[in-house]
Amino acid sequence: MTIELFLRLLALFVVGGIGYGVARAGLTGGAAGFRALSNLAFLVFVPALLFRSMARVDLAHLPWRLLLAFFGPLLLWSLLVRAGFARRRPLEDPAAPAVSAVTASFGNSVQVGLPFAATLFGEAGLQLHVAIVSLHALVLLSTQTVMAEVDLARAAARAAGAARPPLGPMLLSILRQSLIHPVTLPVLAGLAWNALAWPLPALAEDVTAMLAQAGVPLCLALIGVSLAQYGLGDHWRRAAVIALMKLMLLPALVAVSAVLVFRLEGLALAVLVMAAALPTGSNAMLFAQRYRVREAEASTVIVLSTLGFMLSAPLWLLLLAVWREHGVPLGG
């Protein structure tokens, strides 16, 4: 862990600490103010970031083999985590398993991942990491949004007294709720704009850029506000387990799959493993706030996994170095 990367991580804690201090001083307006800020982030700033990313990404030149090697295990992991939490009874909310799946899967690929990849792997590695970032929310958040809406539709049907929910109405409800969701709607709109091959107008470029840039510090500050609002309480034990899973088990799954299934090596393998080893990102907390479930757990996982990353990142880099010495070249 270099001094530069350590200072980057420290900056995340400083911004989150500012949010915590502001909330503790009573300047956020309590629960109502916290909800208003989170809605602003999830309904305005994050959609602008998603639309801008999808409208600008060069889909024709993405490294699809590398992306499949990353997102295949990631999706499998998130679905297994969701299934594991879904078997736990009682659940406080039907969307809780999907929220926990995002918390255990969605890495901080921007605030931590971009400088990390640039420092360790140079321009070539950064380009590979940016390709992962471009599809991160599309693949993971959209999938778990659909899963959450499926669970909510089934729960609503059971509450209405239906032994088995009618398939047609349930599918229409899931489709409607998924399409108007603040994650999937801007992603699809950005993809549609991309498909038309139109450049963003100058005004739209400036507005989405400002909103996207403002969303990053707000999301970080909201982590601190969330901790002030909910505290650690009894959530820290399960949060610590989820953080450990995110930092160790997920990158191990990606590494094994990349080597044995996709036969990747060199720089591509190193970038994939370290992208999977990133701490949980702030979008996990916003996803939890969207469904108003396990918000405290998500914010605690973000803090614990970011702290743990200071130890786990050097360990993964050491393992990759040992792997290289035994015949898997990891040079750029």
CATH of the domain at 290: 1.20.1530
pTM (global) more than 0.75: yes
Helix (H, G, I), strand (E, B) or coil at 12: helix
Which residue matches tokens 């700033």?
A: 45
Query: Does residue 211 form part of some domain?
Result: no
Which residue matches tokens 């990747």?
A: 264
Choose between 121 and 160: higher pLDDT: 121
pLDDT given at position 331: 44
pLDDT given at position 92: 67
Closest of 304, 291, 298, 121 to residue 222, by C-alpha? 298
pLDDT given at position 251: 97
pLDDT given at position 332: 44
Q: Mean pLDDT across the stretch 268-286? A: 91
Query: Does residue 173 form part of some domain?
Result: yes
Which amino acid, 270? A
Query: Does residue 154 form part of some domain?
Result: yes
d(CA 152, CA 173): 10
Query: Does residue 214 form part of some domain?
Result: no
What is the distance between the terminal CA atoms of the chain, rounded to a whole angstrom? Answer: 19
Q: Mean pLDDT across the stretch 59-85? A: 92
**Assign residue 90 a region: left if phi > 0, alpha if psi is -120 to 50, beta otherwise?**
beta
Domain that holds residue 148: 3-33+70-181+219-325
Is the pLDDT at 330 greater than 70? The verdict is no
d(CA 243, CA 136): 19
Query: Does residue 58 form part of some domain?
Result: no
Cis-peptide into 90, omega within 30 deg: yes
Mean pLDDT taken over the chain: 84
Range name among 90-94, 234-238, 288-292, 315-319 with the lowest pLDDT average: 90-94
Tally of domains within the chain: 1
* Share of residues in the chain with pLDDT > 90 (%): 24
Element (DSSP H or E) covering residue 129: helix 113-159
pLDDT digits (tens, 9 = 90+) for 169-189: 666 766 666 667 677 788 788
d(CA 213, CA 176): 29
d(CA 234, CA 289): 19
pLDDT given at position 39: 83
Phi, psi of 107 (to 5 degrees): -85, 155
For the beta carbon of residue 35, count every other beta carbon within 10 angstroms.
15
Question: 202-230 and 3-24 helices cross at what angle (nearest 10)?
Answer: 70
Query: Does residue 46 form part of some domain?
Result: no
Choose between 158 and 272: higher pLDDT: 272
Tally of helices (H runs) and strands (E runs) in the chain: 14, 0
Cβ–Cβ < 8 Å for 107, 276? yes
Query: Does residue 57 form part of some domain?
Result: no
d(CA 24, CA 261): 49
pLDDT given at position 278: 93
Is the pLDDT at 206 greater than 60? The verdict is yes
Q: Mean pLDDT across the stretch 63-90? A: 89
pLDDT digits (tens, 9 = 90+) for 64-74: 999 999 999 99
Choose between 222 and 179: higher pLDDT: 222
Query: Does residue 113 form part of some domain?
Result: yes
- Give the residues across from 107 on adjacent strands: 280
Rg of the chain over Cα atoms, rounded to whole angstroms, equals 20
Which amino acid, 144? Q
d(CA 128, CA 273): 12
Q: Mean pLDDT across the stretch 46-55? A: 83
pLDDT given at position 120: 82
Which residue matches tokens 């879904």?
A: 86
pLDDT given at position 70: 96
Concatenated DSSP letters of 196-260? TTPPPPHHHHHHHHHHHHHHHHHHHHHHHHHHHHH-SGGGHHHHHHHHHIIIIIHHHHHHHHHHH
Residue 164: exposed, middle, or buried by beta-carbon count in 10 A (0-12, 13-18, 19+)? Answer: exposed
pLDDT given at position 175: 67
